[in-house]
């Protein structure tokens, strides 16, 4: 698959058997179907960045991430698809490349490794230009695609969201997707962000900073379903993913969307939602990250 066709995204209802509580609808927006690598929200955060890189005559995109970053691999593939060079500045040094980094390289991304301390300068454009001084015409995309083009691009996910939904659930990493969508969607939709790391509450302020003044309303974060921290999981979560797949045929990823759906199920069990709620859960992709647990999953 070497194109991204947004018509591949479908809305899939979840069979009542998965939950017993009364709500009017529980659906999943399958953005994971857009592309196996440039998946879900990553495409939306990248698409305007890439458009502006091309329109501005930039020849090279530079971005940032750790060894397991979905954003890094999505950028490598998207840059290749659009015929632009890409550089990935990687946090930490690796004796053995992770599968993600191998794929980045294979997609033509040049990797520059920096220590965790150096990486802290990731917002310093002077430092970035020095690091990549053998390239000119650099278009810089911050870690996680977390810039204004990323937010506005993520807002375009609104085209898949019907007016009738009362609750929109999604996973939160940098908060870029939630911010962009909140800024674009009508305030009447309640947005629920699920944070897959410990102490994710700090994100609240960060998100609020980038929300338009009339949009800082009707959204909340849940950080109690982190399963020990970012990238951490347990048997319970794996069993949950397998059971969810058996019932719905929807594969979840181990880092983000599984923790969100687990949280949704608990909220349903606790009667968090009113009986007339129409809930849309956004599947933001990330399935490539399941390579580390593929032996434990039935898909």
Ligand X SMILES: *Cc1c(COP(=O)(O)O)cnc(C)c1O
Residue 153 in the binding site for ligand X (CB under 6 A):
no
Does residue 63 touch ligand X according to CB under 6 A? Answer: no
Closest residue (Cβ) to ligand X?
286
Separation CA 114–CA 93 (nearest Å) = 6
d(CA 100, CA 232): 17
Residues contacting residue 190 through CB under 8 Å, at least 6 positions apart: 166, 167, 168, 218, 219, 220
**41 contacts ligand X (rule: CB under 6 A):** yes
Rounded CA-CA distance 104/112 in Å is 12
* Proportion of the chain in helix, strand, coil states, percent, rounded to 5: 45, 15, 40
Tell me the C-alpha distance between 225 and 213, whole Å. 29
Minimum Å gap between C-beta 93 and ligand X is: 23
- Give yes or no for residue 147 binding ligand X (CB under 6 A): no
Which residue in 49, 60, 284, 290 binds ligand X (CB under 6 A)?
284
Among 70, 100, 183, 290, binds ligand X (CB under 6 A): 70
Min separation Cβ 146 and ligand X, Å:
7
Which residue, among 248, 267, 279, has the nearest Cα to 25 in the 3D structure?
Answer: 279
| Least distance between ligand X and beta carbon 50 (Å) | 16
Nearest to ligand X of 16, 206 (CB atom): 206
Closer residue to ligand X in complex, CB, 86/257: 257
Q: How many residues bind ligand X (CB under 6 A)?
A: 20
Structure tokens at 96: 């053995």
Q: What is the separation, in whole angstroms, between the first and last Cα of the chain?
A: 20
State the minimum distance, in angstroms, from the CB of residue 230 to ligand X: 11
CA 294, CA 144: separation in Å to the nearest integer? 25
- From residue 38, give the alpha-carbon distance in Å to each of 34, 107, 131, 133, 273: 8, 12, 26, 27, 32
Judged by CB under 6 A, which of 171, 183, 258, 290 binds ligand X? 171
Question: Could you say which residues in the range 219-278 bind ligand X, by CB under 6 A?
Answer: 253, 256-257
Q: Which stretch binds ligand X (CB under 6 A): 59-67, 89-97, 106-114, 176-184?
A: 176-184
Write the burial class of residue 56 (CB in 10 Å: 0-12 exposed, 13-18 middle, 19+ buried).
Answer: exposed
Q: Which is nearer to ligand X, 201 or 269 (CB)?
A: 201
Binding residue for ligand X (CB under 6 A) from 175, 200, 251, 263? 175
Residues found near ligand X in the complex (CB under 6 A): 40-42, 70-71, 144, 171-178, 253, 256-257, 284-286
């Amino acid at each position: 698959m070497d194109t991204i066709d947004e018509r591949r995204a479908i809305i899939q209802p979840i069979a009542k058997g998965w939950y017993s509580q009364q709500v009017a609808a529980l659906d999943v927006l399958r953005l994971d179907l857009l592309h196996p690598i440039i998946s879900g929200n990553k495409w939306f955060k990248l698409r305007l960045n890439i458009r502006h890189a091309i329109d501005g005559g930039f020849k090279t995109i530079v971005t940032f991430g750790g060894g397991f970053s979905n954003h890094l691999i999505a950028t490598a593939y998207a840059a290749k698809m659009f015929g632009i060079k890409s550089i990935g500045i990687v946090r930490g040094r690796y004796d053995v490349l992770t599968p993600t980094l191998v794929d980045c390289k294979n997609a033509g991304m040049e990797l520059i490794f920096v220590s965790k301390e150096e990486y802290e300068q990731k917002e310093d454009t002077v430092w970035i230009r020095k690091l990549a001084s053998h390239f000119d015409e650099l278009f810089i995309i911050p870690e996680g695609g977390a810039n204004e083009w990323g937010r506005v691009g993520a807002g375009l996910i609104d085209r898949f969201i019907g007016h009738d939904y009362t609750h929109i659930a999604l996973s939160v990493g940098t908060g870029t997707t939630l911010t962009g969508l909140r800024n674009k969607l009508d305030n009447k939709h309640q947005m629920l962000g699920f944070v897959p790391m410990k102490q994710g509450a700090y994100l609240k302020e960060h998100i609020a900073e980038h929300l338009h003044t009339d949009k800082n309303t009707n959204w909340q974060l849940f950080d109690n379903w982190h399963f020990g921290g970012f990238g951490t999981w347990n048997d319970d979560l794996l069993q949950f993913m397998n059971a969810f797949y058996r019932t719905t045929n929807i594969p979840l990823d181990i880092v983000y969307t599984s923790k969100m759906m687990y949280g949704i199920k608990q909220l349903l069990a606790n009667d968090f939602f009113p009986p007339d709620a129409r809930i849309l859960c956004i599947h933001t992709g990330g399935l490539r990250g399941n390579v580390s647990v593929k032996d434990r999953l039935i898909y």
